[in-house]
Structure 1
Amino acid sequence: MISVALVDDQALFRAGIRMLVDSQPDLRIVGEAGDGHEAIALVARERPDIVLMDIRMPVMDGLEATAEILKSADPPKIVMLTTFDLDEAAARAIRQGASGFLLKDADPEFLLAAIRGVYAGSSVIAASQTRELFAQHAERKRVPAQYEQLTEREREIFALAARGLSNGEIAGAEFLSEATVKTHISRILAKLQLRDRVQLVVFAYDHGLAG
C-alpha cells in the first residue's frame, strides 16, 4: 500500500483528490494539511511514501515546507502541485529535491500513474514541459568538471535521458539492453553526484547540455 499525504489550502480540492486516491486498492491518503507548517507535522507523524504538495499556501508555502521535509532522515518523495504550466517555483522545488511537478488540472489517470511512478523511482515531468521550463528559467553555466568524467557512451546516454527518454526508449535507440542502460544511468548519476533522473534533467538544462 502506497501512503500519500495531501497538502493544499483548498479543502474542496483536497476532498476531490482524497476520493480519487482512496478509490484505488493500492493507494491511501494518510493525512491532509492546509499549509506548510501543518505539512511538516503531518509528515513527521505519518511518515508517508509520497507527499502531494501545493506550492502557494498561506502561513508557509510549499517551497519552504519541501526544503524542511527533505532535510529529515529518509524523507518522502515530494511532488509539487501547481496551477501554472511554466512555473519558476516548480523549477526551484525540483532543484532542491522534489521528484517533479503536476498541474492541478491533470487528468485523474495521470495523477494516479504519477503517484505510482514516483513511488517506483521515476520522475513526473513531461519532457516538453521540462524543455520549456528550464530553457526559460535556468541560468546557463560553464560545463562543470564532473561532466568531463563521463565517457563518450555515457554522454550519449546522458543526452537521451535529459530529453526525457525512459530506459526502454534509450535501449531501443542505442541497441542496448535495459539492464545495460540502467547501469550507465547509475554510473552517470554517481559521477555527477546527482540523486535521480529529475536532477539529471535539471543539471542538463542548467548547464546548457540539453539538446
Structure 2
Amino acid sequence: MSESKQNDPITVVIVEDDAGIRGGLAAILARAPGVECIGQFTNGEDALAELPELQPRVVLMDINLPGMDGVTCVGRLAGKLPNTHILMLTVHEDTDTIFNSLAAGASGYLLKPPRADELLAAIKDVFTGGAPMTANIARKVVQSFKQVPAEPSAAESLSPRESEILELLAQGLAYKEIADRLDISYSTVRTHIERIYTKLHVHSRSHAVAKYLGDDY
C-alpha cells in the first residue's frame, strides 16, 4: 500500500461486540476532525475477513469478543496489515491478557469506555509511532522479548540509518520527533520503520524495541 499523506484523515475501524460502546466510539470519530471511521465489526471472524481489503491505519479492537477473541484476531491480522496500528479495548487492566495482545502485535490499549479526548489522543499517538500503555505492562513486554535475542543475520542487515531510527524508537520518540531530529520527512521515517519490521521479523514497535534491547543488554 502506498504511504498515506500526513494530512490525510486517519482511517479507523472499530471491532466491538457491545452495540452501545461501538456506537459511542463511532459517534466520537464522526465528530472529530482528522479521523474517519471506515468500518465497524461485531466479531473477529468478520474483521479478519474484511480488514485486509479496507487497510485502515488504526483498529480499535475489543479484547473479549465472542467466538474468536481479540488477542487471536490481532495475531492473525499482524502479518496481513503491517501498516496498521491496533489499539486494544478492555474493561479491566488485566495485565496478562493485555500483555498477550501486545505480544501478538497490538501497539497499545485503552480502558473502555474511553473519554472522547482519550480516544482521539490515543489514535493520534499510535498513528505517529507512540505505544499507549502503562509502565508495568510495557516493562513486562520488554522483559519477555529480551529473553529471545534477535537473529544475528536480521539485526546485522539493518542499515546505519535504520539502526539510528531504531535507537530513537527505543528512547521513546514518536515518528514526528524522529523526523525532526534527523531532518527527514515523516513518510521517510515510516518507510524506514516498515523495513526495520521486515528485517527483524516483527509487527510492532514493542517487538522491534524489545529485540533491540535484547541485543544490547
Which TM-score applies when normalising by structure 2? 0.67
Please give the alpha-carbon distance, in whole angstroms, between the structure 1 residues aligned to 2:212 and 2:78. Answer: 22
Please give the alpha-carbon distance, in whole angstroms, between the structure 2 residues aligned to 1:49 and 1:27. Answer: 10
Structure 2 counterpart of 1:125, which letter?
A: P
Please give the alpha-carbon distance, in whole angstroms, between the structure 2 residues aligned to 1:171 and 1:43. Answer: 29
Structure 2 counterpart of 1:134, which letter?
A: V
Alpha-carbon shift at residue 154 of structure 1 (Å): 8.4
Match of 1:122 in 2: 129
Q: Secondary structure at the match of 2:86?
A: strand
Match of 1:2 in 2: 10
Contact 2:78 2:203 in 1 (8 A): no
1:45-60 paired onto structure 2 within 5 Å = 46-60=54-68
Match of 1:199 in 2: 207
Compared with structure 1, are the counterparts of its residues 101 and 209 closer, same or farther at alpha carbon in structure 2 (3 Å cutoff)? farther
**Structure 2 segments unaligned to the other structure (5+ residues):** 1-8
1:144-183 paired onto structure 2 within 5 Å = 144-145=151-152, 146-147=154-155, 158=166, 161-166=169-174, 177-179=182-184
Deviations 1:145-167 (A, max 9, x none): 35577899987875553242346
Contact 1:163 1:201 in 2 (8 A): no
Please give the alpha-carbon distance, in whole angstroms, between the structure 2 residues aligned to 1:196 and 1:45. Answer: 20
Please give the alpha-carbon distance, in whole angstroms, between the structure 1 residues aligned to 2:43 and 2:161. Answer: 45
Alpha-carbon shift at residue 57 of structure 1 (Å): 1.3
1:1-211 paired onto structure 2 within 5 Å = 1-43=9-51, 46-72=54-80, 76-85=84-93, 87-119=95-127, 121-126=128-133, 128-134=135-141, 138=145, 140-142=147-149, 144-145=151-152, 146-147=154-155, 158=166, 161-166=169-174, 177-179=182-184, 186=192, 189=196, 192-194=200-202, 197-204=205-212, 207=214
Compared with structure 1, are the counterparts of its residues 73 and 177 closer, same or farther at alpha carbon in structure 2 (3 Å cutoff)? closer
Aligned length: 204
Please give the alpha-carbon distance, in whole angstroms, between the structure 2 residues aligned to 1:85 and 1:209. Answer: 30
Alpha-carbon shift at residue 58 of structure 1 (Å): 1.3
Compared with structure 1, are the counterparts of its residues 105 and 178 closer, same or farther at alpha carbon in structure 2 (3 Å cutoff)? farther
Please give the alpha-carbon distance, in whole angstroms, between the structure 2 residues aligned to 1:39 and 1:153. Answer: 36
Compared with structure 1, are the counterparts of its residues 42 and 191 closer, same or farther at alpha carbon in structure 2 (3 Å cutoff)? closer
Q: Secondary structure at the match of 1:40?
A: helix
Q: Secondary structure at the match of 1:115?
A: helix
Please give the alpha-carbon distance, in whole angstroms, between the structure 2 residues aligned to 1:47 and 1:159. Answer: 28
Return the index of the structure with the highest Cα Rg.
Answer: 1
Please give the alpha-carbon distance, in whole angstroms, between the structure 2 residues aligned to 1:74 and 1:153. Answer: 20
Please give the alpha-carbon distance, in whole angstroms, between the structure 2 residues aligned to 1:60 and 1:84. Answer: 19
**Structure 1 segments unaligned to the other structure (5+ residues):** none
Please give the alpha-carbon distance, in whole angstroms, between the structure 2 residues aligned to 1:4 and 1:94. Answer: 19
Compared with structure 1, are the counterparts of its residues 67 and 149 closer, same or farther at alpha carbon in structure 2 (3 Å cutoff)? closer
Contact 2:129 2:174 in 1 (8 A): no
Moved more, 49-58 or 192-201: 192-201
Deviations 1:14-52 (A, max 9, x none): 121111111113323233222211322442564433221
Please give the alpha-carbon distance, in whole angstroms, between the structure 2 residues aligned to 1:148 and 1:127. Answer: 31
